[in-house]
Amino acid sequence: MGKLEKRVAIVTGASRGIGAWIARRFAAEGAGVAIVARTERAEDSKLPGTIRDTLDTIVGQGGRAHAIRADITRPEDRRRVVAETEAHLGPVDILVNNAALTIFRTVEKFDARRYQLMFDVQVWAPFELCQLVLPGMRERGRGWILNVTSKAGIHPSGPPFQAWSKSGHTVYGMCKAALDRFTTGLAAECYDAGVAVNSLGTGGLVVTPGTNLLGFDPEAMKNLVEPPECMPEAALILCTGEPRELTARIVYSEEFLAQRGVKPGPIDGRPA
């Protein structure tokens, strides 16, 4: 019996990278996983990875999953994600808001359209998805919500500001700071309902197709690179913990695991 046996999870942004790893880890622990992203076919994106790839990996390992192509900036797609998950897998026990849109530009060069799009993907979409799943969680008296955050949401230290001055992280950091405040506020509102709400970010640089596209150099940052197994392992702990004890946390995967004395297991639940 896995730790998530008979539970149902929605994971957004699960066509590749961290979202796909979390979906695979949860499926290996017995969860039925709704794999949500825009990329259904290879030609849909310039980045490798599709919801079908994640689905095939999970099913090939004997897991249970359902792929949902959706643009979570659209209200009708957000409603459809929840409805389709419940129709194919059952009531939603876990929601992982992982989908992100990352644009690095200084404030002076940021236009309104891109600004709105980033907040739609990383703040408003998680907000409404929570609104959609919470009634069922309250009714059943249990639930776990995990918002994927970033250390970019922490205020820059300075002066001097060194790398922050030209990094273009301000709007991205605003989104993640808003998401973290949403996490703690919602955790307080849901505490008596038995629903845990937490934020989880990476402790260092996790090499994904997205980080490669953004121009991060893993070799130059090798001392900061975090193993891919850390995020799914930390996510598993946060989505199986006792909601009255493990909630309202804003944590970073590698540090969180070290504090708990946990070594990350393989993403697909099997020794390498």
Would you say 146 and 235 are in contact if contact means Cβ atoms under 8 Å apart? Answer: yes
Question: Which percentage of the chain shows pLDDT scores above 70?
Answer: 93
- Phi and psi of 194, rounded to 5°? 80, 25
The string of pLDDT tens digits covering residues 123-174 is: 999 999 999 999 999 999 999 999 999 999 999 888 888 776 677 899 999 9
Would you say 70 and 81 are in contact if contact means Cβ atoms under 8 Å apart? Answer: yes
Would you say 37 and 19 are in contact if contact means Cβ atoms under 8 Å apart? Answer: yes
Class assignment of domain 8-260?
Answer: alpha beta
Residues in the chain: 272
Q: Can you say how many angstroms the Cα of residue 262 is from the centroid of all Cα atoms in its chain?
A: 20
Nearest in space to 222 (alpha carbons), one of 208, 206, 201: 206
Nearest in space to 107 (alpha carbons), one of 177, 169, 178: 169
Residue 8 CB: number of other CB atoms within 10 A? 22
- Phi and psi of 9, rounded to 5°? -125, 140
Give the pLDDT mean for 199-216: 74
The string of pLDDT tens digits covering residues 59-94 is: 999 999 999 999 999 999 999 999 999 999 999 999
